Structure 1
Amino acid sequence: MFVKLSVRLVLLVSLVAAEAQDLNFIYNDGFDGRSGLNLSLDGIAEITPKGLLKLTNDAKQESGHAFYPNPVTFKNSENDTAFSFSTIFVFAIRSKYTTLSGHGMAFVIAPTRSLHGALPSNYLGLLNEFNNGNFTNHVFAVELDTIQTPQFSDINDNHVGIDINGLHSVRAAPAGLFDGQFKNLTLNSGKEMRVWVEYDGTKKQIEVTMAPIGVATKSPTPLLSLKYDLSPILNKTMYVGFSSATGSVPTSHYVVGWSFRMNGQAQDLITSKLPKLPSIAGKKRSMLFTFGVPLISVSLVLLVVSGVLYVIRRKRKFAEVLEDWELEYGPQRFKYKELYIATKGFREKELLGTGGFGKVYRGLLPSSEVEIAVKRVSHESRQGMKEFVAEIVSIGRLRHRNLVQLLGYCRRKGELLLVYDYMPNGSLDKYLYDQPEVTLNWSQRFKVIKGVASGLFYLHEEWEQVVIHRDVKASNVLVDGELNGKLGDFGLARLYDHGTDPQTTHIVGTLGYLAPEHTRTGWATTSTDVFAFGAFLLEVACGKRPIERQGPEAEILLDWVFSCWNRSNILEARDQRFGTDFVAEELELVLKLGLLCSHSEPAARPSMRQVVQYLAGDLALPEVSLLGLSSSGLAVGHREGFDDYAMSYQSSLGKGSSHSSYIAESALLSGGR
């Protein structure tokens, strides 16, 4: 009896192993269970009532994953080599905004179905900034990427890439089909497309092919072909599925059908049996309009004429400047009329805030229902509009989860309108000052600090050019729904190539955050941004502005923190609203790092790369006592050349006040505050 039972168990195990090695499944008529097994979903992924796999919806900065529920055997246990496999799937990407999308999707083979810690946006819900590129990831993916991310050396904003353990594609190509000649395909067109992914375990060859859904036969010429042995990458058992992520633009990523096979050719998908995508909103109305126009009677001619006159008057009302050089910026240029309607005529009710450089309004784009923030600014006369707009458009290509997305611009009658992604929770400073009953705790503030540091590091070192923000402060840090900090307001930012010197020669920024050398020379550098970030660190940790009036005197936050450190009690400077709910080591690190970043000598300040490493615990902060910090290094600057400049601020700081001169000079001479 025991022998028979043992034989049966051995046979059963052998059958299971064989089945796993020759696994073959197909989802041709929907993912709602009719094809056999339900998929394992997480994030915002869902199965629609029609049986479509919808990886993401209109939610921003979210990820969605869907995996075949059972592990798949990918390697031969005898020689530890990867088996051959093949998959076919049909997908569609639909954005609510005609000129933008975000961020794409990927077919993925991973060691687990739970990609915990993976980030949305340009990380596609696969990895994060800390594990991207690690050999221990054991991740293979084919990305369908609709955003160009210079951080990952993307070739364009419409490409297919083979990713191994990271988002820097090992091989990539513009999305398209080889049919005698190359034909471009637009990934976010909203149309269904078919993808073949094949790996030959004998030849160690990866091939990726794609085509519109109407082309059922795979082209003999693949879009991507890569000689690569996946044996070291794949574990013995892995999970197969899909990952997708959104950024600032509401985008739906669909998988319509899927077929997969180990050690053989995946079964073809029959298009007539695939579930149908939802109709695009607005098409029905457009068809009625199209067919209704020929039926307009002659009796409406007068109405049409009056309508034409009305349109002419409206065109005059919404007239804007458009020069030849702006034609190349088409996708980034908004129509004034569109922004006027979105903000309800720039009504005061839609006003989000007012700063020294303009007013910011909330808006809702009528064509896509995307929420935006519109900043109206007067252009600086010292710089040509053409060069300024070129920089604004370049900044619009920045992609980082801790940066507020600049969507585009509009220009009208000497006025420049900058269009940003809308952040419903507003700016960080209201949580520090304006609403004391809504106080962020220490862990939330530390998360914001690390996020802003990561975004600033991306601007300084990770993007294709160096971006100097020039106005880092709490009021320019916005907070999303998950209390992530996002650095925004790039109206003062300047760009220059890596390895060259910035050419800015006049002083811009906010008192309390200006580095002393910037006020002397007018040159803004990455080091002056670090100085402003130091002021930001102290501001967030202490809950105080860099310069605050205390009756007849002005309190300089930097001096206060330095005095606490000098008395060997730096934690005394913390925001007292923390109570005892804080991590002393983290708070002390932030305060000391704030002092270090605020050093009067640029060479003594760390780079943003080092700042990120300090905050992550990957690099030990030097002993503050060894940094040469002193009142002369922090609180006193060189006075020569300052008086005239400092006096120019007196009227703005309180006309006729006996303390205005002191505040201005303190701001400029006391370590830049």
Structure 2
Amino acid sequence: MIHISVLLILVVHAIAQDETQFTYNGFQGATNKLHVDGIATILPNGLLQLTNYSSYNTSHAFYPRPVIFKPNHISFSTTFIFAIYPIAPNQSSHGIVFVISPTTHFQQALPSAYLGLFNTSSNRLPSNHIIAVELDTIQNPEFKDIDSNHVGIDVNSLTSSAAATAAYYSDKLRVNKTLQLNSGKPMQIWIDYDEVEMLLNVTLAPFSSPKPSKCLLSKQLNLSTILLRNMYVGFSSATGPIPNYHYILGWSWNQSGKAQDLDPSKLPSLPQIKHHKKSLSQLIIVLLIVISLLLLSMIAAAIWFVWKKKYEELLEPWEKEYAPYRYSFKELYLATKGFKNSELLGVGGFGKVYKGIIPSTSRQVAVKRVSQDSKQGIKEFVAEISSMGRLRHRNLVQLLGYCRRKGELLLVYDYMPNGSLDKLLFDKVEGSILCWSIRFKIIKGVASALLYLHEEWEQVVLHRDVKASNVLLDAEMNARLGDFGLAKLYDHSIDPRTTHVVGTIGYIAPELSRTRKPTTSTDVFSYGMFLLEVGCGRRPIGKQNEDNDAEALFLSDWVYDCWKMGDILKASDPRMEGDYVEDEMELILKLGLLCLYPIAEGRPTMRQVVQILNGSATLPELPSEYNPETIGFLGEDLGTLHSLPSSFLSSSGTSSVAVMSSTNSVLRYGR
């Protein structure tokens, strides 16, 4: 028994040792020992081919099992041999990245400049937990690349923390000698991290040369704050409009010492680049092609001049900072088929919304065209958009980016296939009646989104226009709160003020029309009206009971009257014909009245609302002095409301008052 136990311990120890190091002298027979995707493939001779001569593609190759980074044990050493073949001399595409990542799934990553690692929204996120070394052969100004032939150290972003032109130190000549990464010649790179000194060193050399005594790059990094316990190591690559071949000949990794040297005799051969002398006929053909290209260029220039106004947009130098969030107008024009009416999803207080498919990524989006004639405050507004692009919650519509033309802004959102909630609540379409279980799930989802905006993100976000028409439904009928066109960000410690009342009649808290001071409590008031909308299937303003001509104009008054008479369920949506959970319906209607309490201090917070909906807190009784008629329940003077011109009210009986105050930009209150 003792001998067996010792043997088991030795076996386990041997497996653990294998996990800390591996060596590939070529990848022949490694099909099942290497995770590859995209256009990556292993050739019969064992050469790992990451890309081919196809455009706009990505590829990845990873060691199939995660490597373990234990506390106080995160040192590593790795080396690999690579070669980059250009499609033609002096023509280059994008490069290779060595990656340490918590995942091997990069389906959302983009090709071209994003190298198959990130996209416009994921680049620069601390939650990426990615460390990478890029061998880049394109200069991308948006990532502040130093040139088109460099090595860079990247942390969660394609903007390198440190970079240097590709070169190696010749110990014989005692000088640095430049290397051309896309020369088609094999080169070797060594990447070493010392956890004690917290130093990452990158060394480059021609394949035929030994490891130089001086490294090319050295960066002080505390990887314990970046790497997780389980990480994957491997390669990412991508092609753009001009493709390259990217090859890996061999690879070695070690977490307990120096990476094992690769054996040149076992490495696969690279394909030969053939150079032929051009015959006279070939030269004539080339000349004809050049002339044809010149003619085509002239025609293209003429067409471009004629159609310049069609795709004209505003792009100022300061917007380079927000490049990851910027879409070109041409891209959005093509995505929406020229903003055709056939792609129109709806019309709101802020403009028209179109369905689109981004050509480069095939991603479905919704594009909102917002009128924005004033130049004052536009920089702050774009900063606001980029800030909101970082909001991440399962019940929020993701804001992906923007485009700016003279006189309008175009906002790009995730597309929600089931449209807005108000259409299902109020349109009398057969088969569109929402069942109670879906309504209750939607109510909880919107509450969760507001709690995130009010308390759980790095800044407080006031939505300021919570209503059924701003709640969209995804493919699984999950609620997604959208339209942050009225939102304002401010620091948790700062008391915000605005110079305009912003919102929709029927949803505006009483104190807001007097103080012009939005708070999280004014959002709670709007959410209370939203609860009544969903439970009653009625709009906030309008005739509330078809059987009684004298019925109240406001939904909140009518639900309040039903509660006072002891029959609050009378206010429930008649189209449901009583097919709901009575306790839940009663909870929703009473909670709606509580959120609509005329005095702000008497309303619950969104955290308390979520606790009540989840059953972890009890709904308090409505106060006996709760009287909307005497306190000014809607925050609007009825005489004023009735005197408004009919054009001010939309077909739904509500009106969005959408005035952005440029002097109260989020930059004033940002962290």
The answer to whether the Cα contact below 8 Å between 2:40 and 2:49 also exists between their aligned partners in 1 is: no
User: Quick one: structure 1 residues 382 and 596, their matched pair in 2 at CA, closer, same or farther if it must change by over 3 Å?
Assistant: farther
Q: TM-score, normalising length from structure 1?
A: 0.62
- Cα distance in 1, alignment partners of residues 221 and 159 from structure 2: 10
Query: Equivalent of 1:637, from 632, 639, 654?
Result: 632
Q: Which residue of 2 aligns with 1:518?
A: 512
User: Quick one: structure 1 residues 474 and 68, their matched pair in 2 at CA, closer, same or farther if it must change by over 3 Å?
Assistant: same
1:99-143 CA deviation, whole Å, 9 max, x = no partner? 87166699xxxxxxxxxxxxxx9866xxxxxxxxxxxxxxxx767
Does residue 1:50 correspond to 2:41, yes or no?
Answer: yes
Instruction: Return the offset for 1:599.
Output: 1.3
- Cα distance in 2, alignment partners of residues 270 and 101 from structure 1: 37
Q: Which residue of 2 aligns with 1:624?
A: 620
Instruction: Return the offset for 1:648.
Output: 5.0
Q: In structure 2, the residue corresponding to 1:547 is in which secondary structure?
A: coil
Query: Equivalent of 2:604, from 588, 603, 606?
Result: 606
1:470-490 CA deviation, whole Å, 9 max, x = no partner? 211222122223433222212
The answer to whether the Cα contact below 8 Å between 2:99 and 2:132 also exists between their aligned partners in 1 is: no
Instruction: Return the offset for 1:53.
Output: 14
Counterpart mapping for 1:173-188 below 5 A: 175-177=160-162
1:49-101 CA deviation, whole Å, 9 max, x = no partner? 837999xxxxxxxxx9x9967998x99xxxxx987775869439641586871
Give RMSD over aligned pairs.
Answer: 5.6
Structure 1 counterpart of 2:522, one-letter code: T
Does residue 1:474 correspond to 2:438, yes or no?
Answer: no
Higher mean alpha-carbon deviation, 442-451 vs 470-479, is at: 442-451
Higher mean alpha-carbon deviation, 338-347 vs 27-36, is at: 27-36
Instruction: Return the offset for 1:506.
Output: 2.2
Higher mean alpha-carbon deviation, 262-271 vs 410-419, is at: 262-271
Query: Equivalent of 2:401, from 400, 408, 420?
Result: 408
Counterpart mapping for 1:580-595 below 5 A: 588-595=586-593
Structure 1 counterpart of 2:526, one-letter code: A
Counterpart mapping for 1:48-127 below 5 A: 50=41, 86=76, 90-91=98-99, 94-95=109-110, 101=119
Q: Which residue of 2 aligns with 1:13?
A: 8
- Cα distance in 2, alignment partners of residues 102 and 301 from structure 1: 35
Structure 1 counterpart of 2:8, one-letter code: V
The answer to whether the Cα contact below 8 Å between 2:67 and 2:232 also exists between their aligned partners in 1 is: no
Q: Which residue of 2 aligns with 1:421?
A: 414
Q: Which residue of 1 aligns with 2:557?
A: 559
Unaligned runs of 5+ in 2: 43-47, 51-59, 80-97, 101-105, 134-143, 145-152, 167-187, 235-247, 271-283, 656-671
Q: Which residue of 1 aligns with 2:149?
A: none
Q: Which has the larger radius of gyration?
A: 2
Does residue 1:341 correspond to 2:356, yes or no?
Answer: no
The answer to whether the Cα contact below 8 Å between 1:104 and 1:143 also exists between their aligned partners in 2 is: no
- Cα distance in 2, alignment partners of residues 412 and 540 from structure 1: 38
- Cα distance in 1, alignment partners of residues 580 and 203 from structure 2: 55
The answer to whether the Cα contact below 8 Å between 2:311 and 2:330 also exists between their aligned partners in 1 is: yes
Q: Which residue of 2 aligns with 1:509?
A: 503
- Cα distance in 2, alignment partners of residues 36 and 224 from structure 1: 34
Does residue 1:314 correspond to 2:322, yes or no?
Answer: no
- Cα distance in 2, alignment partners of residues 620 and 352 from structure 1: 39
- Cα distance in 1, alignment partners of residues 355 and 30 from structure 2: 45
Does residue 1:372 correspond to 2:368, yes or no?
Answer: no
Q: Which residue of 1 aligns with 2:85?
A: none
Higher mean alpha-carbon deviation, 206-215 vs 567-576, is at: 206-215
Instruction: Return the offset for 1:637.
Output: 0.8
User: Quick one: structure 1 residues 410 and 7, their matched pair in 2 at CA, closer, same or farther if it must change by over 3 Å?
Assistant: closer
Q: Which residue of 1 aligns with 2:523?
A: 529
- Cα distance in 2, alignment partners of residues 583 and 195 from structure 1: 65
The answer to whether the Cα contact below 8 Å between 1:360 and 1:375 also exists between their aligned partners in 2 is: yes
Structure 2 counterpart of 1:427, one-letter code: S
User: Quick one: structure 1 residues 240 and 649, their matched pair in 2 at CA, closer, same or farther if it must change by over 3 Å?
Assistant: same
Q: In structure 2, the residue corresponding to 1:527 is in which secondary structure?
A: helix
Instruction: Return the offset for 1:343.
Output: 1.8
User: Quick one: structure 1 residues 537 and 22, their matched pair in 2 at CA, closer, same or farther if it must change by over 3 Å?
Assistant: same
- Cα distance in 2, alignment partners of residues 292 and 214 from structure 1: 37
The answer to whether the Cα contact below 8 Å between 2:33 and 2:63 also exists between their aligned partners in 1 is: no
- Cα distance in 1, alignment partners of residues 470 and 205 from structure 2: 46
The answer to whether the Cα contact below 8 Å between 1:208 and 1:225 also exists between their aligned partners in 2 is: no
Q: In structure 2, the residue corresponding to 1:518 is in which secondary structure?
A: helix
User: Quick one: structure 1 residues 614 and 383, their matched pair in 2 at CA, closer, same or farther if it must change by over 3 Å?
Assistant: farther
Q: Which residue of 2 aligns with 1:224?
A: 221
Q: In structure 2, the residue corresponding to 1:646 is in which secondary structure?
A: helix
Q: Which residue of 1 aligns with 2:350?
A: 357
User: Quick one: structure 1 residues 122 and 385, their matched pair in 2 at CA, closer, same or farther if it must change by over 3 Å?
Assistant: closer
Instruction: Return the offset for 1:353.
Output: 0.6
Higher mean alpha-carbon deviation, 430-439 vs 473-482, is at: 430-439
Q: In structure 1, the residue corresponding to 2:448 is in which secondary structure?
A: helix
1:516-551 CA deviation, whole Å, 9 max, x = no partner? 222334433322122112222332344433334344
Q: Which residue of 2 aligns with 1:284?
A: none
Instruction: Return the offset for 1:173.
Output: 12
- Cα distance in 2, alignment partners of residues 325 and 83 from structure 1: 43
1:429-463 CA deviation, whole Å, 9 max, x = no partner? 33434455255544444443333333333333444
Unaligned runs of 5+ in 1: 1-5, 40-44, 55-63, 76-80, 107-120, 125-140, 146-155, 162-171, 182-192, 244-255, 277-290, 665-673
- Cα distance in 2, alignment partners of residues 299 and 173 from structure 1: 38
- Cα distance in 2, alignment partners of residues 569 and 350 from structure 1: 45
User: Quick one: structure 1 residues 160 and 381, their matched pair in 2 at CA, closer, same or farther if it must change by over 3 Å?
Assistant: closer
User: Quick one: structure 1 residues 258 and 87, their matched pair in 2 at CA, closer, same or farther if it must change by over 3 Å?
Assistant: farther
Q: TM-score, normalising length from structure 2?
A: 0.62
Instruction: Return the offset for 1:604.
Output: 1.7
The answer to whether the Cα contact below 8 Å between 2:510 and 2:634 also exists between their aligned partners in 1 is: no
Counterpart mapping for 1:135-534 below 5 A: 160=155, 175-177=160-162, 221=218, 223-225=220-222, 295-296=288-289, 298=291, 305-322=298-315, 326=319, 328-379=321-372, 384-434=377-427, 437-534=431-528
Q: Which residue of 1 aligns with 2:533?
A: 539
The number of residue pairs the alignment matches comes to 539
Identical aligned residues as a percent: 45
